[in-house]
Amino acid sequence: MKIFIDADGCPVVEEAEAAAKKFGLECIIICDTSHEFYSNYSEIRTVSKGTDSADFALVNAVEKNDIAVTQDYGLAAMCLARGCIPINQNGVVYSEDNIDSMLFARYNSGRIRRNGGRLKGLPKRKNKQNRIFFENLCCLIAQYIK
């Protein structure tokens, strides 16, 4: 089991890396050239800047039972198809049971924006949310490495 982090815009890179370190798992941070990451623990894979380039690099690298940290529903769906376990920045594990409704919500939000509508943005992230993510990720890892 490895942990892959879709690091472009990910607010929980440090927490995901800490969970990997806690369980002695390999951690791979994937980003494009518009971001810079440094780590004493994780492998950093920087890909060319381009539409979804980091996403495609991640989905092509994951294997069955790896964990992918992403807030991108489309990437999560592709990871599920590969047997990978995607989890979002709030600690919600994507599954076959919830991914369709998330993709549909994303589609509807895009339609509203394309038609000139505006949607309320997310509130500022709190440290409590990062702790919840870390705890949920650790529980997920523990389920699979028994």
Neighbours of 55 (CB within 10 A): 22
Domain with 132 in it: 2-96+126-144
Q: In a 3-state reduction of DSSP, which class is residue 36?
A: coil
State the pLDDT at residue 107. 55
State the pLDDT at residue 103. 65
CATH at 61: 3.40.50
Assigned domain for 18 exists: yes
Provide the pLDDT confidence category of residue 91 given band limits of 50, 70 and 90.
very high
Mean pLDDT over 93-112 rounds to 71
Report pTM.
0.85
Assigned domain for 106 exists: no
d(CA 76, CA 86): 6
d(CA 87, CA 107): 20
State the pLDDT at residue 104. 60
